[in-house]
Amino acid sequence: MQNNSCGTSRIAGCQFTLLPMSDKFVDIIMGALDEVDTSNIWKKTDDVSTCVRGKMEHVFDVTQALFLHAANTGEHVAMSGTFSIGCPGDTEADAYMDGAETPLNEATSKQISQQAGCKFSLYPMGREDYMDTIYEQIDLSKHRNVEVSASHYATRLDGDVKAIFEALHQSFDSVQEKVSHVTMTFTISANSPSNKT
C-alpha cells in the first residue's frame, strides 16, 4: 500500500489543540472561534483536537488567528499541533482548494501584538536525505524579528506571534517545494508566568 505520490491539489492541514490554562477555557476557545473567519477552510473539532484543512496560506492564517485571539485575553495559552502536506490519502475537502488566496484574518491579526515562545520540528517524509533537506531549505536567519535557538528535538523561536508563524510558514513551504510529504510539529506558548518576556 505504498503511495508516496500526491495529487494536484496539495491540500495542507493542521491538527492542533488550543489550550488556555484557565477556568474560563471554554469561553476563551469559543470566543477565539467566534472572532476568526474559518469560512475558507474545512474544519472539524472533537474533544481531543481540531483539524483544519485547505490552502496552505489559509491553514496558517486560521491557526495563527485562533492562537492570537485566545492569547489576547491575557490568559496563559498554549497551542500544540502538526502541520501536514502531501499525506498519502489526503484527498477530501477539494472544495476548499478553490477561491481567493488572500488570508481572511490577516487584517485583524495585524492588530494584535503578542509575544510568545515556540518550538518546532520539521519532518520531510520518505527521504533518506531528510536531514540535508532540512538544513538546505530552512534559513531562519532572514527572520530578523524572531530569536532562534536550538532545543532538544526542536528549534525554538521567540518573538511576536505573527513573526513566529511567518517563520513556521516559510520553513514549511520551502521544504514542501522539495519533498512531497512534510509534517511540522509545533508548540507555542504565551503569557506563561515562568516566561520573562
Residues 115-174 that bind its own copies (CB under 8 A): 117-119, 121, 123, 125-132, 135, 151-154, 156
Q: Does 44 bind its own copies (CB under 8 A)?
A: yes
Asked if residue 35 lies in contact with residue 109, where contact means CB atoms within 8 angstroms, the answer is no
Closest separation in Å from C-beta 37 to its own copies: 21
Angle between helices 56-71 and 161-176 (to 10 degrees): 160
Asked if residue 65 lies in contact with residue 165, where contact means CB atoms within 8 angstroms, the answer is no
Q: Cβ closer to its own copies: 17 or 108?
A: 17
Per-residue binder mask for its own copies (CB under 8 A), 52-91, x = binder: -x----------------------x-x-xxx-x--xx-x-
Residues 82-141 that bind Ca ion (CB under 5 A): 128
Residues at the contact surface with its own copies, assessed by CB under 8 A: 1-4, 13, 15, 17, 19-23, 25-26, 44, 46-49, 51, 53, 76, 78, 80-82, 84, 87-88, 90, 117-119, 121, 123, 125-132, 135, 151-154, 156, 183, 185, 187-189, 192-195
